[in-house]
Amino acid sequence: MDETPRWALPLLFAGQAQKEVFHNEALVLIDALLHGRAESADAASPPTDPMPGQCWVVAAGADGGWTGQTGAVACWTDGGWRFVPARAGMMFDIADRGHRIFHDGAVWRDGAVRSDGLYHNDERVVANRQGAIAGPEGGAVIDVEARSTLLSILGVLRAHGLIGS
């Protein structure tokens, strides 16, 4: 075995010539993957002027220098493009989306926490916090049980930060 099983980082061997080449290659890959951040996951063509250290998740229809790399993480280095195949559990913050994506073992998916709310199966289930809702009061007939129930619901919504007080 001459590479690590998960990320294919090159391993060093006793008596190996030019160990620094293998060591540096491993460091470049670690640098790209550790606390991953990518510029976009929607680009299918390489940018014209990338900076060393910038990464992209290659979108479908990849062309140019990214041909055949759909779904991989493409990182620009001093030595050109380095590609890391996606694996289950891989996560990247995506700059132009403003939220995290993760790989489920088959495809990249948007994360649950996004700037406009909390999502479950790509359906927003919690939106931005709304203003306060006044508690029930007044009326000709007061239903004590209904008022108590409404106050309990409002209390829970406030306690969870879903509405203001």
Return phi, psi of residue 49, to 5°.
-140, 65
* Same domain assignment for residues 70 and 82: yes
Q: Are residues 45 and 67 in the same domain?
A: yes
pTM for the full predicted model: 0.70
Q: How far is CA 15 from CA 9, 12, 18, 19, 20, in A?
A: 18, 9, 9, 9, 12
What is the DSSP code string of 94-157?
ETTTTEEEEE-SSSEEE-SEETTEEEETTEEEE-SPBPP-PPP---SS--HHHHHHHHHHHHHH
Q: Which two tokens stand for residue 35?
A: 């606390």
State how far the Cα of 69 lies from the Cα of 56, in Å rounded to an integer. 11
pLDDT value at residue 40: 98
pLDDT at 140: 63
Question: 20 lies in which domain range?
Answer: 1-34
Same-domain check for residues 115 and 72: yes
Same domain flag for 61 and 92: yes
| Three-class DSSP labels, 18-49 | CHHHHHHHHHHHHHHHCCCEECCCCCCCCCCC
Question: Do 43 and 91 belong together in one domain?
Answer: yes
> Residue 3: its pLDDT value, please?
72
Regarding whether 87 and 73 lie in a shared domain, the answer is yes
Residues 120 and 47 in one domain: yes
Residue 80 shares a structural domain with residue 139: no
Instruction: List, for residues 52-106, the tens digit of each pLDDT value.
Output: 889 999 999 999 999 999 999 999 988 899 999 999 999 999 999 999 999 999 9
Judge if 46 and 101 occupy the same domain.
yes
Are 68 and 39 found together in one domain? yes
Weakest mean pLDDT among 8-17, 46-55, 103-112, 140-149: 8-17
Q: What is the average per-residue pLDDT within 112-136?
A: 83
Are 74 and 30 members of one domain? no
- Please check the confidence at residue 5 and state whether its pLDDT lies above 80: no
Number of domains in the chain: 3
Judgement on whether residues 63 and 98 belong to the same structural domain of the protein: yes
Average pLDDT of 41-52? 96
pLDDT of res. 109: 96
